[in-house]
Structure 1
Amino acid sequence: MLEVKNLCKEFNNRPILKDISFTLKDGEIMTIVGPSGAGKTTLLRIIAGLETKDSGEILIDGKPYDPGNVGVVFQDFNLFPNLNVLQNITLAPTMVLKESKAEAEQNAQKLLDQLQMNGREKQYPYQLSGGQKQRVAIARALAMNPRILCYDEPTSALDPNLRKEVEKMILDLKKSGLTQLIITHDLTFAKNVADQMLKVQPLSEA
Protein backbone atom coordinates (compact mmCIF):
# COMPACT_ATOMS: atom_id res chain seq x y z
CA MET A 1 0.00 0.00 0.00
CA LEU A 2 1.25 3.46 -0.95
CA GLU A 3 0.66 6.28 1.51
CA VAL A 4 1.39 9.94 0.76
CA LYS A 5 1.10 12.22 3.79
CA ASN A 6 1.07 16.03 3.78
CA LEU A 7 3.37 16.32 0.77
CA CYS A 8 4.58 19.86 0.02
CA LYS A 9 6.75 21.31 -2.74
CA GLU A 10 7.80 24.82 -3.73
CA PHE A 11 9.71 26.13 -6.74
CA ASN A 12 11.38 29.54 -6.32
CA ASN A 13 9.27 30.22 -3.23
CA ARG A 14 6.08 29.49 -5.15
CA PRO A 15 3.97 26.68 -3.63
CA ILE A 16 3.23 23.93 -6.15
CA LEU A 17 1.91 21.19 -3.86
CA LYS A 18 0.53 21.74 -0.36
CA ASP A 19 -0.46 19.00 2.08
CA ILE A 20 -1.24 16.38 -0.56
CA SER A 21 -2.35 13.15 1.14
CA PHE A 22 -3.79 9.91 -0.20
CA THR A 23 -3.66 6.13 0.19
CA LEU A 24 -3.47 3.72 -2.73
CA LYS A 25 -4.07 0.06 -1.97
CA ASP A 26 -2.16 -2.72 -3.72
CA GLY A 27 -3.68 -3.54 -7.10
CA GLU A 28 -5.74 -0.36 -7.30
CA ILE A 29 -5.64 2.41 -9.91
CA MET A 30 -5.60 6.07 -8.95
CA THR A 31 -5.96 8.86 -11.48
CA ILE A 32 -4.74 12.35 -10.64
CA VAL A 33 -6.58 15.01 -12.61
CA GLY A 34 -6.47 18.78 -12.81
CA PRO A 35 -5.51 21.65 -15.12
CA SER A 36 -2.01 22.53 -16.27
CA GLY A 37 -0.01 24.12 -13.48
CA ALA A 38 -1.72 22.14 -10.73
CA GLY A 39 1.42 20.15 -9.93
CA LYS A 40 0.30 16.76 -11.25
CA THR A 41 3.57 15.90 -12.98
CA THR A 42 5.59 17.30 -10.06
CA LEU A 43 3.70 14.95 -7.75
CA LEU A 44 4.44 11.99 -10.02
CA ARG A 45 8.12 12.91 -10.25
CA ILE A 46 8.40 13.11 -6.46
CA ILE A 47 6.78 9.68 -6.02
CA ALA A 48 9.08 8.28 -8.70
CA GLY A 49 12.15 9.69 -6.95
CA LEU A 50 12.95 12.09 -9.80
CA GLU A 51 12.21 15.21 -7.74
CA THR A 52 12.72 15.95 -4.05
CA LYS A 53 9.88 16.87 -1.71
CA ASP A 54 10.15 19.79 0.71
CA SER A 55 8.17 18.05 3.44
CA GLY A 56 5.76 15.19 4.04
CA GLU A 57 6.06 11.42 3.94
CA ILE A 58 5.86 8.70 1.30
CA LEU A 59 5.46 5.18 2.64
CA ILE A 60 5.01 1.71 1.18
CA ASP A 61 3.47 -0.81 3.59
CA GLY A 62 4.04 1.66 6.41
CA LYS A 63 7.78 1.99 5.82
CA PRO A 64 9.91 4.65 4.07
CA TYR A 65 9.82 3.67 0.45
CA ASP A 66 12.52 2.94 -2.10
CA PRO A 67 11.93 4.87 -5.37
CA GLY A 68 13.28 1.79 -7.12
CA ASN A 69 9.87 0.23 -6.40
CA VAL A 70 8.26 2.76 -8.74
CA GLY A 71 8.29 2.55 -12.54
CA VAL A 72 7.42 5.46 -14.84
CA VAL A 73 5.99 5.63 -18.35
CA PHE A 74 6.82 9.12 -19.58
CA GLN A 75 4.58 11.20 -21.83
CA ASP A 76 7.11 11.14 -24.68
CA PHE A 77 8.08 7.50 -23.90
CA ASN A 78 11.85 8.26 -23.74
CA LEU A 79 12.81 5.17 -25.76
CA PHE A 80 16.41 4.91 -26.93
CA PRO A 81 16.24 5.54 -30.71
CA ASN A 82 19.43 3.58 -31.42
CA LEU A 83 18.15 0.42 -29.69
CA ASN A 84 15.52 -1.97 -30.98
CA VAL A 85 12.47 -2.97 -28.95
CA LEU A 86 14.12 -5.93 -27.23
CA GLN A 87 17.26 -3.94 -26.42
CA ASN A 88 15.21 -1.05 -24.98
CA ILE A 89 13.49 -3.45 -22.59
CA THR A 90 16.52 -5.51 -21.54
CA LEU A 91 19.07 -2.72 -21.03
CA ALA A 92 18.13 -1.76 -17.45
CA PRO A 93 17.49 -5.30 -16.15
CA THR A 94 20.94 -6.42 -17.31
CA MET A 95 22.74 -3.30 -16.03
CA VAL A 96 20.80 -2.56 -12.82
CA LEU A 97 19.26 -5.88 -11.77
CA LYS A 98 22.28 -7.82 -13.11
CA GLU A 99 20.06 -10.27 -14.98
CA SER A 100 21.75 -12.41 -17.59
CA LYS A 101 21.05 -11.50 -21.21
CA ALA A 102 19.09 -14.72 -21.66
CA GLU A 103 16.98 -14.12 -18.55
CA ALA A 104 16.30 -10.49 -19.46
CA GLU A 105 15.30 -11.43 -23.00
CA GLN A 106 13.01 -14.21 -21.75
CA ASN A 107 11.27 -11.82 -19.36
CA ALA A 108 11.04 -9.14 -22.08
CA GLN A 109 9.43 -11.62 -24.46
CA LYS A 110 6.78 -12.50 -21.87
CA LEU A 111 5.98 -8.80 -21.43
CA LEU A 112 5.78 -8.22 -25.18
CA ASP A 113 3.42 -11.18 -25.52
CA GLN A 114 1.29 -9.83 -22.66
CA LEU A 115 1.13 -6.41 -24.33
CA GLN A 116 0.43 -7.88 -27.79
CA MET A 117 3.75 -6.69 -29.21
CA ASN A 118 5.27 -10.05 -30.14
CA GLY A 119 6.93 -10.02 -33.55
CA ARG A 120 8.25 -6.47 -33.12
CA GLU A 121 11.31 -7.33 -31.06
CA LYS A 122 13.81 -6.23 -33.72
CA GLN A 123 12.01 -3.04 -34.75
CA TYR A 124 13.33 0.39 -33.79
CA PRO A 125 11.25 3.20 -32.23
CA TYR A 126 10.97 5.11 -35.52
CA GLN A 127 9.21 2.07 -37.01
CA LEU A 128 6.49 2.04 -34.33
CA SER A 129 3.22 3.92 -33.94
CA GLY A 130 2.56 6.05 -30.86
CA GLY A 131 0.52 3.27 -29.28
CA GLN A 132 3.23 0.71 -29.97
CA LYS A 133 5.92 2.98 -28.49
CA GLN A 134 3.78 3.32 -25.39
CA ARG A 135 3.54 -0.47 -25.03
CA VAL A 136 7.30 -0.77 -25.31
CA ALA A 137 7.71 1.94 -22.67
CA ILE A 138 5.33 0.04 -20.38
CA ALA A 139 7.19 -3.23 -20.99
CA ARG A 140 10.48 -1.49 -20.22
CA ALA A 141 9.11 -0.17 -16.92
CA LEU A 142 7.57 -3.55 -15.98
CA ALA A 143 10.87 -5.31 -16.70
CA MET A 144 12.24 -3.68 -13.53
CA ASN A 145 9.54 -5.42 -11.43
CA PRO A 146 8.05 -2.26 -9.89
CA ARG A 147 5.50 -2.34 -7.09
CA ILE A 148 3.82 0.72 -8.59
CA LEU A 149 3.65 1.89 -12.20
CA CYS A 150 3.14 5.61 -12.88
CA TYR A 151 2.00 7.13 -16.16
CA ASP A 152 2.32 10.75 -17.26
CA GLU A 153 -0.59 11.56 -19.60
CA PRO A 154 -0.84 8.10 -21.25
CA THR A 155 -3.50 9.17 -23.76
CA SER A 156 -2.14 12.60 -24.76
CA ALA A 157 0.18 11.45 -27.56
CA LEU A 158 -2.33 9.01 -29.03
CA ASP A 159 -5.13 9.28 -31.53
CA PRO A 160 -8.45 9.62 -29.64
CA ASN A 161 -9.75 6.34 -31.04
CA LEU A 162 -6.90 4.54 -29.26
CA ARG A 163 -8.09 5.65 -25.83
CA LYS A 164 -10.25 2.54 -25.37
CA GLU A 165 -7.26 0.39 -26.24
CA VAL A 166 -5.18 2.13 -23.57
CA GLU A 167 -7.99 1.73 -21.05
CA LYS A 168 -8.15 -2.01 -21.74
CA MET A 169 -4.39 -2.38 -21.44
CA ILE A 170 -4.31 -0.60 -18.06
CA LEU A 171 -7.26 -2.62 -16.74
CA ASP A 172 -5.62 -5.84 -17.95
CA LEU A 173 -2.47 -4.91 -16.00
CA LYS A 174 -4.66 -4.35 -12.95
CA LYS A 175 -5.85 -7.95 -13.21
CA SER A 176 -2.24 -9.05 -12.70
CA GLY A 177 -2.24 -7.17 -9.36
CA LEU A 178 -0.23 -4.17 -10.49
CA THR A 179 -0.77 -0.91 -8.60
CA GLN A 180 -1.04 2.04 -11.03
CA LEU A 181 -0.95 5.82 -10.65
CA ILE A 182 -2.01 7.89 -13.66
CA ILE A 183 -1.62 11.61 -14.37
CA THR A 184 -4.16 12.74 -16.97
CA HIS A 185 -6.12 15.68 -18.35
CA ASP A 186 -8.67 13.24 -19.81
CA LEU A 187 -11.52 13.14 -17.32
CA THR A 188 -13.52 10.48 -19.17
CA PHE A 189 -10.52 8.18 -19.39
CA ALA A 190 -9.73 8.88 -15.72
CA LYS A 191 -13.24 7.86 -14.62
CA ASN A 192 -13.21 4.73 -16.77
CA VAL A 193 -10.05 3.23 -15.27
CA ALA A 194 -9.86 4.61 -11.72
CA ASP A 195 -10.69 2.98 -8.42
CA GLN A 196 -10.22 6.44 -6.96
CA MET A 197 -9.56 9.89 -8.36
CA LEU A 198 -7.52 12.72 -6.85
CA LYS A 199 -8.37 16.20 -8.12
CA VAL A 200 -5.72 18.91 -7.78
CA GLN A 201 -5.92 22.61 -8.55
CA PRO A 202 -3.25 25.31 -8.98
CA LEU A 203 -2.72 26.75 -5.52
CA SER A 204 -3.37 30.28 -6.77
CA GLU A 205 -6.88 29.13 -7.68
CA ALA A 206 -7.47 26.91 -4.67
Structure 2
Amino acid sequence: MLTLKNITKRFGDRTIIDQLDLTVKDGEVLSIVGPSGAGKTTLLRCITGLEKVDEGEFLIDGQPFDPYTNRTNESVIGVVFQNFQLFPHLTVLQNITLAPTMVLKESEADAQANAQKLLERLDLGDHGDQYPYQLSGGQQQRVAIARALAMKPNVLCYDEPTSALDPNLRQEVEKLILGLKADGMTQIVVSHDLTFAENIADDMLRVEPNQSK
Protein backbone atom coordinates (compact mmCIF):
# COMPACT_ATOMS: atom_id res chain seq x y z
CA MET A 1 0.00 0.00 0.00
CA LEU A 2 1.28 3.46 -0.94
CA THR A 3 0.44 6.33 1.40
CA LEU A 4 1.11 10.04 0.90
CA LYS A 5 0.86 12.32 3.94
CA ASN A 6 0.70 16.12 3.74
CA ILE A 7 2.54 16.24 0.41
CA THR A 8 3.31 19.79 -0.73
CA LYS A 9 5.17 20.81 -3.87
CA ARG A 10 6.02 24.37 -4.89
CA PHE A 11 7.71 25.92 -7.89
CA GLY A 12 8.94 29.32 -6.78
CA ASP A 13 6.02 31.14 -5.15
CA ARG A 14 3.47 28.83 -6.77
CA THR A 15 2.01 25.94 -4.76
CA ILE A 16 1.18 23.10 -7.14
CA ILE A 17 0.30 20.41 -4.56
CA ASP A 18 -0.98 21.58 -1.19
CA GLN A 19 -0.90 19.18 1.81
CA LEU A 20 -2.22 16.20 -0.12
CA ASP A 21 -3.17 13.00 1.72
CA LEU A 22 -3.63 9.94 -0.47
CA THR A 23 -3.74 6.16 -0.10
CA VAL A 24 -3.45 3.66 -2.96
CA LYS A 25 -4.41 0.17 -1.83
CA ASP A 26 -2.57 -2.94 -2.97
CA GLY A 27 -3.82 -4.29 -6.28
CA GLU A 28 -6.00 -1.27 -7.06
CA VAL A 29 -5.90 1.26 -9.89
CA LEU A 30 -5.95 4.98 -9.06
CA SER A 31 -6.74 7.40 -11.88
CA ILE A 32 -5.56 10.99 -11.48
CA VAL A 33 -7.58 13.38 -13.66
CA GLY A 34 -7.94 17.13 -14.05
CA PRO A 35 -7.32 20.00 -16.47
CA SER A 36 -3.92 20.90 -17.92
CA GLY A 37 -1.81 22.76 -15.39
CA ALA A 38 -3.61 21.30 -12.39
CA GLY A 39 -0.56 19.32 -11.25
CA LYS A 40 -1.35 15.76 -12.40
CA THR A 41 2.04 15.09 -13.93
CA THR A 42 3.85 16.98 -11.15
CA LEU A 43 2.21 14.69 -8.60
CA LEU A 44 3.25 11.62 -10.59
CA ARG A 45 6.81 12.95 -10.85
CA CYS A 46 6.89 13.38 -7.07
CA ILE A 47 5.62 9.83 -6.51
CA THR A 48 8.19 8.39 -8.90
CA GLY A 49 11.07 10.41 -7.45
CA LEU A 50 11.66 12.67 -10.44
CA GLU A 51 10.73 15.72 -8.35
CA LYS A 52 11.55 16.42 -4.70
CA VAL A 53 8.60 17.40 -2.51
CA ASP A 54 8.85 20.42 -0.22
CA GLU A 55 6.86 18.88 2.64
CA GLY A 56 5.24 15.60 3.62
CA GLU A 57 6.18 11.92 3.57
CA PHE A 58 5.67 8.73 1.59
CA LEU A 59 5.03 5.31 3.09
CA ILE A 60 5.19 1.89 1.43
CA ASP A 61 3.32 -0.73 3.48
CA GLY A 62 3.55 1.57 6.49
CA GLN A 63 7.32 2.11 6.20
CA PRO A 64 8.76 5.56 5.41
CA PHE A 65 10.13 5.80 1.88
CA ASP A 66 11.62 8.75 -0.02
CA PRO A 67 11.28 8.18 -3.77
CA TYR A 68 13.60 11.11 -4.53
CA THR A 69 16.63 9.85 -2.61
CA ASN A 70 16.11 6.11 -3.11
CA ARG A 71 18.63 5.15 -5.78
CA THR A 72 16.91 1.83 -6.52
CA ASN A 73 13.54 3.54 -6.80
CA GLU A 74 12.60 1.70 -9.99
CA SER A 75 12.44 -1.53 -8.02
CA VAL A 76 9.77 0.05 -5.80
CA ILE A 77 7.85 2.41 -8.10
CA GLY A 78 8.00 1.88 -11.86
CA VAL A 79 6.97 4.43 -14.44
CA VAL A 80 5.84 4.29 -18.06
CA PHE A 81 6.52 7.66 -19.64
CA GLN A 82 4.20 9.41 -22.08
CA ASN A 83 6.75 9.14 -24.91
CA PHE A 84 7.96 5.68 -23.71
CA GLN A 85 11.68 6.75 -23.56
CA LEU A 86 13.02 3.52 -25.03
CA PHE A 87 16.69 3.48 -25.99
CA PRO A 88 16.65 3.60 -29.82
CA HIS A 89 20.06 1.92 -30.21
CA LEU A 90 19.06 -1.12 -28.12
CA THR A 91 16.85 -4.02 -29.12
CA VAL A 92 13.57 -4.65 -27.31
CA LEU A 93 15.22 -7.37 -25.20
CA GLN A 94 18.19 -5.14 -24.36
CA ASN A 95 15.86 -2.30 -23.34
CA ILE A 96 14.13 -4.61 -20.87
CA THR A 97 17.22 -6.33 -19.43
CA LEU A 98 19.45 -3.28 -18.98
CA ALA A 99 18.12 -2.08 -15.60
CA PRO A 100 17.64 -5.51 -13.98
CA THR A 101 21.27 -6.44 -14.73
CA MET A 102 22.71 -3.08 -13.69
CA VAL A 103 20.47 -2.14 -10.73
CA LEU A 104 19.11 -5.44 -9.42
CA LYS A 105 22.34 -7.27 -10.35
CA GLU A 106 20.43 -10.10 -12.07
CA SER A 107 22.50 -12.41 -14.23
CA GLU A 108 22.18 -11.87 -17.97
CA ALA A 109 20.53 -15.28 -18.33
CA ASP A 110 17.93 -14.61 -15.62
CA ALA A 111 17.19 -11.12 -16.92
CA GLN A 112 16.70 -12.42 -20.45
CA ALA A 113 14.46 -15.27 -19.29
CA ASN A 114 12.30 -12.86 -17.26
CA ALA A 115 12.19 -10.38 -20.15
CA GLN A 116 11.05 -13.08 -22.56
CA LYS A 117 8.26 -14.10 -20.17
CA LEU A 118 7.08 -10.49 -20.00
CA LEU A 119 7.18 -10.16 -23.78
CA GLU A 120 5.12 -13.34 -24.17
CA ARG A 121 2.62 -12.05 -21.62
CA LEU A 122 2.28 -8.76 -23.54
CA ASP A 123 1.95 -10.46 -26.96
CA LEU A 124 5.42 -9.40 -28.06
CA GLY A 125 7.14 -12.76 -27.83
CA ASP A 126 8.67 -12.60 -31.31
CA HIS A 127 9.77 -8.93 -31.13
CA GLY A 128 12.78 -9.27 -28.80
CA ASP A 129 15.40 -8.71 -31.50
CA GLN A 130 13.67 -5.71 -33.07
CA TYR A 131 14.51 -2.07 -32.44
CA PRO A 132 11.97 0.53 -31.19
CA TYR A 133 11.71 2.23 -34.60
CA GLN A 134 10.46 -1.06 -36.08
CA LEU A 135 7.48 -1.15 -33.70
CA SER A 136 4.11 0.59 -33.71
CA GLY A 137 3.23 3.08 -30.97
CA GLY A 138 1.16 0.48 -29.17
CA GLN A 139 3.98 -2.06 -29.31
CA GLN A 140 6.51 0.50 -28.03
CA GLN A 141 4.21 1.23 -25.11
CA ARG A 142 4.01 -2.47 -24.22
CA VAL A 143 7.80 -2.69 -24.33
CA ALA A 144 7.96 0.29 -21.96
CA ILE A 145 5.53 -1.51 -19.63
CA ALA A 146 7.60 -4.71 -19.83
CA ARG A 147 10.74 -2.71 -19.02
CA ALA A 148 9.05 -1.23 -15.93
CA LEU A 149 7.68 -4.63 -14.83
CA ALA A 150 11.13 -6.21 -15.18
CA MET A 151 12.19 -4.19 -12.13
CA LYS A 152 9.46 -5.95 -10.07
CA PRO A 153 7.98 -2.71 -8.71
CA ASN A 154 5.40 -2.47 -5.92
CA VAL A 155 3.57 0.24 -7.85
CA LEU A 156 3.45 0.97 -11.59
CA CYS A 157 2.73 4.54 -12.74
CA TYR A 158 1.68 5.78 -16.18
CA ASP A 159 1.82 9.33 -17.53
CA GLU A 160 -0.99 9.82 -20.08
CA PRO A 161 -0.85 6.24 -21.46
CA THR A 162 -3.33 6.90 -24.29
CA SER A 163 -2.13 10.31 -25.50
CA ALA A 164 0.58 9.05 -27.89
CA LEU A 165 -1.64 6.34 -29.35
CA ASP A 166 -4.34 6.11 -31.97
CA PRO A 167 -7.73 6.50 -30.23
CA ASN A 168 -8.68 3.01 -31.46
CA LEU A 169 -5.97 1.56 -29.20
CA ARG A 170 -7.53 2.96 -26.01
CA GLN A 171 -9.43 -0.25 -25.35
CA GLU A 172 -6.23 -2.28 -25.72
CA VAL A 173 -4.57 -0.12 -23.07
CA GLU A 174 -7.61 -0.52 -20.78
CA LYS A 175 -7.43 -4.27 -21.21
CA LEU A 176 -3.72 -4.32 -20.46
CA ILE A 177 -4.04 -2.25 -17.28
CA LEU A 178 -6.99 -4.31 -16.05
CA GLY A 179 -5.06 -7.50 -16.85
CA LEU A 180 -2.15 -6.31 -14.69
CA LYS A 181 -4.64 -5.42 -11.97
CA ALA A 182 -5.98 -8.99 -12.08
CA ASP A 183 -2.38 -10.13 -11.49
CA GLY A 184 -2.28 -7.96 -8.35
CA MET A 185 -0.30 -4.98 -9.66
CA THR A 186 -0.98 -1.65 -7.93
CA GLN A 187 -1.20 1.09 -10.59
CA ILE A 188 -1.47 4.89 -10.76
CA VAL A 189 -2.61 6.40 -14.05
CA VAL A 190 -2.52 10.09 -14.99
CA SER A 191 -4.94 10.80 -17.84
CA HIS A 192 -6.80 13.65 -19.49
CA ASP A 193 -9.23 11.07 -20.92
CA LEU A 194 -12.03 10.92 -18.37
CA THR A 195 -13.86 7.96 -19.93
CA PHE A 196 -10.67 5.90 -20.07
CA ALA A 197 -9.80 6.90 -16.49
CA GLU A 198 -13.24 5.88 -15.22
CA ASN A 199 -13.14 2.54 -17.03
CA ILE A 200 -9.92 1.41 -15.34
CA ALA A 201 -10.18 3.01 -11.91
CA ASP A 202 -11.01 1.61 -8.50
CA ASP A 203 -10.59 5.13 -7.19
CA MET A 204 -10.19 8.57 -8.80
CA LEU A 205 -8.35 11.68 -7.69
CA ARG A 206 -9.57 14.86 -9.35
CA VAL A 207 -7.07 17.69 -9.15
CA GLU A 208 -7.75 21.38 -9.77
CA PRO A 209 -5.32 24.25 -10.31
CA ASN A 210 -4.21 25.76 -7.01
CA GLN A 211 -4.58 29.54 -7.10
CA SER A 212 -2.65 30.16 -3.90
CA LYS A 213 0.69 31.93 -3.95
Scaled by the length of structure 2, the TM-score of the pair is: 0.94
Deviation at 1:66, TM superposition (A): 5.3
Aligned to 1:29: 29
What RMSD over aligned residues (CA atoms) do the two structures have, in Å? 1.0
Task: Determine helix, strand or coil for the equivalent of 2:161.
Answer: coil
Out of 85, 97, 103, the position equivalent to 1:96 is 103
Aligned to 1:6: 6
* Maintained 8 Å contact 2:58/2:66: no
Paired AA for residue 133 in structure 2: Y
Structure 1 segments unaligned to the other structure (5+ residues): none
SS of alignment partner, residue 4 of structure 1: strand
Distance 1:137 1:13 in 2: 35
Counting only pairs closer than 5 Å after superposition, residues 29-108 of structure 1 correspond to structure 2 as 29-65=29-65, 67=67, 68=73, 69-108=76-115
2:207 is matched with which residue? 200
The answer to whether structure 1 residue 179 and structure 2 residue 186 are counterparts is yes
Unaligned runs of 5+ in 2: 68-72
Residue 204 of structure 1, CA deviation: 2.1
CA-to-partner distance for each residue in 1:92-115, whole Å, 9 max, x for gaps? 001111111110000000100111
**Could you list the runs of 4 or more consecutive aligned residues of structure 1 that deviate by over 6 angstroms after TM superposition?**
none
Following the alignment from structure 1 to structure 2, what is the Cα–Cα distance between the partners of residues 96 and 55? 28
Contact 2:97 2:150 in 1 (8 A): yes
Residue of structure 2 equivalent to 1:130: 137
The amino acid across from 1:195 in the alignment is: D
Q: 1:168 aligns with which of 170, 175, 178?
A: 175
* Identical columns (%): 67
Quote the Cα distance in structure 2 between the aligned partners of 1:23 and 1:137. 25
How far does the alpha carbon of each residue in 1:52-100 deviate from its partner, in whole angstroms, 9 at most, with x for none? 0000111111111253200000000000000010000000001111111
Distance 2:189 2:80 in 1: 10
| Whole-angstrom CA distance in 2 between matches of 1:42 and 1:167 | 23
**2:57–2:65: 8 Å Cα contact kept in structure 1?**
no
1:10 aligns to what SS in structure 2? Answer: strand
